[in-house]
Structure 1
Amino acid sequence: MLAVCLALAVCLALAVAALGWWYNTITVSSVVVEEGECFVKLPYETIVPLPEDVTVEWSRCAPEPMRVHEYCNGNNDLVGQDEFYCDRTEMEEEPLKTRDLSLTLRDPCYRDSGTYICTVHKDREVWTQKVVRLRVNVPQEVVEVGDRAKCVTLPFKTRARLPADATVEWKCFELSNSSTVHVYQNGQDTSEGQHSSYRGRTKMRENPLQAGDLSLTLINPSHEDIGAYTCTVERDGDVIWKRSVRLKLKGF
């Protein structure tokens, strides 16, 4: 009888310890996706029993803090969501019942790379947490141009929503040198800082941020234009999007 009681006591102690482990252990996952994919899933399936009145909150802590998605009282609450994630996040149906708290992020782009935390809490008490490190790879496109081409287009199209007050800058990198090729700022093209060799030879489409088409057309390309080009979209000093294109001579 004493042995049975001891066995039950040990089982109870292990159960309590396991419950405490569920509540206090933070698991970490890493996800890698290519920019241009339709969506990416930040996974989180928990074994912790979840009551219906807890809040599930997805946030990003690095490189800059943002509120990504919140689920509470049986509904998605996106009032405090950062505008960068507007219309791009979704959770599974009835996540508290299925214990699948995964978050789907549509149209992943360069700026989405970072560290995300899913926190389940109630009355300021944290029930469980999960950390997901997301890396969005930006592929380098290769564009070939012929000797007698009158123009060539360096492509950059995105389905993501771009802020109207962002600055678009195309640069050419060759060895340790970089040259400003084209700048779009305050709703218009500007020649400020543009390298003299590109003046009068570059153009972008009208309203590129609204159209999501930041492609650059280079007029009368020559051998001197061959190299690696990078387009960055910045807002308030933060790089939001980035794309790299290598221009090479056809046949080489």
Structure 2
Amino acid sequence: MFVIFVFSASQYLLTMGEEVFEGAELVVLPCHYSGVIPEVSPSVIWSRHDLKPQTVHLRRKEDDLCGQNQRFSGRTSMKSDALDSADFSLSLRNPRLYDSGNYVCIISDGTAKITVTEVQLQVKGQ
């Protein structure tokens, strides 16, 4: 039995902005999904297309940070029940000036991907 999920990106894409001062303890990049979460191999990917590697945070059943861009190492997290609650918000600790940029929140079933949210983060100096 094969199940195919078809996502309609235009229904879910939401663009927003967040501002924070450098040295803040934490900034949360919001991403809430109202569609059907795939039952087989669901994952949430936060990425920035201007970086290599592009992955900021990857969540499957648990966090999978082996391909994470090293500038975010030890500074990102998601709720442990993210795939159950559909709250894919990303917490970024100790934001730095170079964290400014456009972040994309994507849900995938391993085959199809849908961009749920784009967040423009602006980190300002003191």
TM-score (ref. length: structure 2): 0.85
Structure number with the higher strand fraction is 1
2:99 counterpart residue number = 112
Larger relative CO (CA 8 A, sep 6+): 1 or 2? 2
1:68 has 2:56 as partner: yes
1:40 has 2:27 as partner: yes
Q: How does 1:43-54 map to 2 (within 5 A)?
A: 43-52=30-39, 53-54=41-42
Does the aligned pair in 1 maintain the 2:43–2:110 contact within 8 Å?
Answer: no
- Count of paired positions: 117
- When structure 1 is superposed on structure 2, of 46-55 and 96-105 the one drifting more is 46-55
Deviation for aligned residue 1:54? 1.1
1:85 has 2:72 as partner: yes
**Aligned counterparts of 2:117 and 2:30: Cα–Cα separation in 1:** 9
1:31 counterpart residue number = 18
1:122 has 2:114 as partner: no
**Aligned counterparts of 2:58 and 2:120: Cα–Cα separation in 1:** 19
**Which structure 2 segments of 5+ residues have no match?**
1-5
Structure number with the higher helix fraction is 1
What per-residue deviation string (whole Å, max 9, x for no partner) do you get for residues 23-55 of structure 1? 312210100001110010000111112134211
1:136 has 2:114 as partner: no
**Which structure 1 segments of 5+ residues have no match?**
1-19, 140-252
TM-score (ref. length: structure 1): 0.44
Q: Percent same amino acid at aligned positions?
A: 32
Runs of 4+ in 1 over 2 A off after TM superposition: none
What's the Cα RMSD here? 1.6
Report the structure number with the largest CA radius of gyration.
1
